[in-house]
């Protein structure tokens, strides 16, 4: 296991520079257009596929980086380019990770290629978990999956919301309740193949930010999928449900299961923190360049402490956020326990920094910062999502508080 280091090795630097070049040359020039259009940037995704960035192989290589820094490094550079387009590029990864983490080898080999398509015919996938009444409270999930033993099919009914690529995806991964008596332990994930009857796109959301990323409801009405589309298979599910029922009857080890699930979420949160760092860094760089070239009263505005000190704080906060992200990412790959919810810490701090830094960038640019002629306005809008999705800042604080206190704080 690699020791923790803050110095990227030569291979990592080469990958970072390659991703940064793509973000600078392909993503940034297209950012304003696709933000205005509020449409999926298919041509940019196709370019990413052609160079190898939009592929499972690319994310697998970064995920298995023994230092843990591959994924946060890639996320920071892509989201430095533009948050909306970057989310369109990485959104499929969430569904793919769901299959890789829980699926059989046959499911992985069958469905992952269909999620990405080919460089000449790119596809996207969607991970559908949140519901209108079940966002942070996953225990309130209502989407049901009922097994039809005679046909060896699962029948899904319900409505999912806030689904990235929802409705336009080639493959949907849907989380549903299979045993309501077990609460969150009675959930399972299903693959919904392309063109399955009964799955439709509901409302497409017109968003404040990340507008190049497609976000919509997914409606499931008597959606029938083969038994082979249950991630992990029915035998594994039946064993898991039986163990959960036994624990419920004996009144034991339920807390241990809950903590294990929390640890899984903890390990994924630094990647979102890295996205926030990328957006914050992009806004800071624009503000720094502007402050050095914009003159007022005969001198650059950075000569004024009021501006210079803001930039000093911005850079300090960005670096601190990156260090928290890197620490948590290394801890995850090293198998170190998150005894203080370090994953949530990294996501919380980086998300709040992104909102603050992008707002300061708008302020430094003054009236120009408030117009769409400069990118900080878009970056500020985009930054708002980081404190909301993948667990709100309030949920992150709740997780941290419960972990450090070992108390059931509500």
Q: Domain end: 249, 283, 300, which one? A: 249
Q: Backbone dihedral region of 104: left (phi > 0), alpha (psi from -120 to 50 degrees) or beta?
A: beta
No. of H helices and E strands in the chain? Answer: 13, 11
For residues 117 and 131, state if they share a domain: no
pLDDT tens-place string over residues 250-298? 875 444 444 333 444 566 799 999 999 999 999 999 999 999 999 999 9
Nearest-5° angle of CA 283, CA 74, CA 84?
50
For residues 399 and 268, state if they share a domain: yes
pLDDT > 90: what percent of the chain? 86
Which helix H or strand E contains 215, and what residues bound it? strand 215-226
Here the tokens at position 123 are 């596809």
Of the ranges 60-64, 73-77, 301-305, which one carries the lowest mean pLDDT score? 60-64
> How far, in Å, CA of 78 to CA of 258, rounded?
33
- What's 230's DSSP letter? B
For residues 150 and 218, state if they share a domain: yes
> How far, in Å, CA of 36 to CA of 261, rounded?
39
Range of the domain at 197: 125-249
Whether 267 is in a domain gets the answer yes
For residues 159 and 105, state if they share a domain: no
| Contact of 403 with 339, CB cutoff 8 Å | yes
CB-count exposure of residue 89 (10 Å: 0-12, 13-18, 19+): buried
Whether 67 is in a domain gets the answer yes
- Mean pLDDT throughout 121-150? 90
- Mean pLDDT throughout 348-352? 98
Q: How many domains does the chain have?
A: 3
Residue-level pLDDT at 293? 98
For residues 293 and 367, state if they share a domain: yes
Residue-level pLDDT at 266? 61
Ramachandran angles phi, psi of 223, nearest 5°: -80, 120
- On average, the pLDDT of the chain sits at 93
> Is the torsion defined by CA of 213, 214, 217, 221 positive or negative?
negative
Predicted model pTM? 0.94
Whether 4 is in a domain gets the answer no
Classified as helix, coil or strand, 208 is: coil
For residues 31 and 44, state if they share a domain: yes
> How far, in Å, CA of 150 to CA of 202, rounded?
31
Q: 135 falls in which pLDDT band (50, 70, 90)?
A: confident
Q: Domain end: 249, 267, 286, which one? A: 249
For residues 285 and 323, state if they share a domain: yes
- Closest Cα to residue 361, out of 305, 319, 313? 313
Q: 139 falls in which pLDDT band (50, 70, 90)?
A: confident
In the chain, the N- to C-terminal Cα span, in Å, equals 37
For residues 79 and 199, state if they share a domain: no
Contacts of 305 (CB under 8 A, 6+ apart): none
Classified as helix, coil or strand, 189 is: strand
390 has catalytic annotation: yes
- Closest Cα to residue 195, out of 226, 176, 171? 171
Ramachandran angles phi, psi of 197, nearest 5°: -60, 145
Residue-level pLDDT at 259? 36
Here the tokens at position 3 are 């020791």
For residues 275 and 401, state if they share a domain: yes
Residue 328: give its domain's CATH number: 1.20.140.10
Alpha helices, H only, 150-294: 234-250, 254-293
Which pairing describes strands 125-128 and 171-177: parallel, antiparallel, or unpaired?
A: parallel
Residue 24: give its domain's CATH number: 1.10.540.10
For residues 87 and 138, state if they share a domain: no
Here the tokens at position 308 are 């210079």
pLDDT > 70: what percent of the chain? 95
| Contact of 99 with 42, CB cutoff 8 Å | no
> How far, in Å, CA of 261 to CA of 266, rounded?
9
Here the tokens at position 101 are 């983490």
> How far, in Å, CA of 362 to CA of 400, rounded?
31
Which residue in 39, 239, 390, 394 is the catalytic one?
Answer: 390
| Contact of 91 with 85, CB cutoff 8 Å | no
Q: Domain end: 67, 87, 122, which one? A: 122
pLDDT tens-place string over residues 210-240? 999 999 999 999 999 999 999 999 999 999 9
- Mean pLDDT throughout 112-123? 96
13: pLDDT strictly greater than 50? yes
Contacts of 144 (CB under 8 A, 6+ apart): 156, 157, 158, 176, 177, 178, 180
Whether 46 is in a domain gets the answer yes
For residues 260 and 396, state if they share a domain: yes
> Is the torsion defined by CA of 353, 355, 360, 365 positive or negative?
positive
For residues 330 and 307, state if they share a domain: yes
> How far, in Å, CA of 45 to CA of 53, rounded?
9
Residue-level pLDDT at 256? 43
Q: 71 falls in which pLDDT band (50, 70, 90)?
A: very high
């Amino acid at each position: 296991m690699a020791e923790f280091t803050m110095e990227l090795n030569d291979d990592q630097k080469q990958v970072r520079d390659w991703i940064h070049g793509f973000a600078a040359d392909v993503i940034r020039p297209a950012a304003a257009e696709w933000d205005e259009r509020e449409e999926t940037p298919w041509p940019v995704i196709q370019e990413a596929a052609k160079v190898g960035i939009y592929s499972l192989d690319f994310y697998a290589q970064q995920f298995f980086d023994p230092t843990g820094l591959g994924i946060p490094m890639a996320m920071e550079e892509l989201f430095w380019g533009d948050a909306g387009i970057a989310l369109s590029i990485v959104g499929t990864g969430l569904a793919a990770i769901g299959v890789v983490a829980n699926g059989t080898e046959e499911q992985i080999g069958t469905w992952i290629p269909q999620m990405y398509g080919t460089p000449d015919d790119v596809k996207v996938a969607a991970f559908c978990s949140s519901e209108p009444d079940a966002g942070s409270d996953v225990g309130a999930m209502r989407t049901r999956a009922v097994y039809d033993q005679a046909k060896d099919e699962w029948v899904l009914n319900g409505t999912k919301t806030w689904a990235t690529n929802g409705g336009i995806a080639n493959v949907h991964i849907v989380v549903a309740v299979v045993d309501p008596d077990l609460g969150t332990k009675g959930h399972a994930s299903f693959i919904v193949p392309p063109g399955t009857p009964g799955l439709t796109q509901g409302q497409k959301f017109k968003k404040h930010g990340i507008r190049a990323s497609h976000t919509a409801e997914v409606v499931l009405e008597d959606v029938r999928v083969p038994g082979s589309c249950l991630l992990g298979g029915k035998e594994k599910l039946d064993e898991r449900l039986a163990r959960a029922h036994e624990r419920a009857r004996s009144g034991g080890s339920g807390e241990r299961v809950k903590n294990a699930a929390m640890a899984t979420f903890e390990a994924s949160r630094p990647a979102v923190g890295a996205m926030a760092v990328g957006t914050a860094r992009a806004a800071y760089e624009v503000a720094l360049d502007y402050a050095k070239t914009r003159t007022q009263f005969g001198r650059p505005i950075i000569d004024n402490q009021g501006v210079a000190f803001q930039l000093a704080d911005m850079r300090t906060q960005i670096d601190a956020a990156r260090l928290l992200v890197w620490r948590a990412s290394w801890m995850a790959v090293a198998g170190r326990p998150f005894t203080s919810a370090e994953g949530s810490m990294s996501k919380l701090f980086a998300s709040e920094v992104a909102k603050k830094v992008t707002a300061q960038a708008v302020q430094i640019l003054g009236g120009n910062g408030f117009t769409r002629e400069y990118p900080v306005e878009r970056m500020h809008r985009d930054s708002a999502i980081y404190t909301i999705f993948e667990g709100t800042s309030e949920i992150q604080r709740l997780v941290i508080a419960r972990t450090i206190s070992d108390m059931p704080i509500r």
